[in-house]
Amino acid sequence: MNRDAASLAGRMDVLVERCRSRGMSVTPQRMAIYRALLEAEDHPSPDTLYRRIHRKMPSLSLATVYKTLDALCALGLVQEASVGSETKRYDANLERHHHLVCTECGGIMDFYDRALDAVAPPRRLSGFVAQGISIQVVGRCAECARTRS
């Protein structure tokens, strides 16, 4: 994902527009949480985001992080990175991509593959209406594989 200054500023402008169009306040907390997600490559959990932002914004509460993540998802700016763990992780990368999930350290990395993008949802889903397919490749990241060999 392109994380240059112009792209970041443009994405922040989208946050402001979407909040205002839905009658939501544009708060410093919302701005800080969204910015942290845009800058993150590790698909952080709410607790991780809280620790990163709280240093610069001591008035931030963990409850505000959770509520803001719910709001950002509802605004279509962030998605939950479903990786089969009890801890929710979040992704501001809305480009078509998949995930590499490390079973050792819990790391999640974006993975791009056109062949995987071409996989179509199955036709028979017992009334379930698929919106898309996201593939997870589960295993050990390079660092964990190196230390466990």
- Report the amino acid identity of residue 42: D
Residue 90 to residue 104: CA distance in whole angstroms: 19
Query: What pLDDT does 149 receive?
Result: 61
Q: How far apart are CA 128 and CA 25, in angstroms?
A: 36
Q: Long-range pairs for 111-114 at CB < 8 Å and ≥24 separation?
A: 111/137
Mean pLDDT by 10 residues, the chain (149 residues): 73 96 96 96 95 96 97 95 82 92 91 91 83 88 86
pTM: 0.85
In the prediction, which pLDDT does 1 show? 45
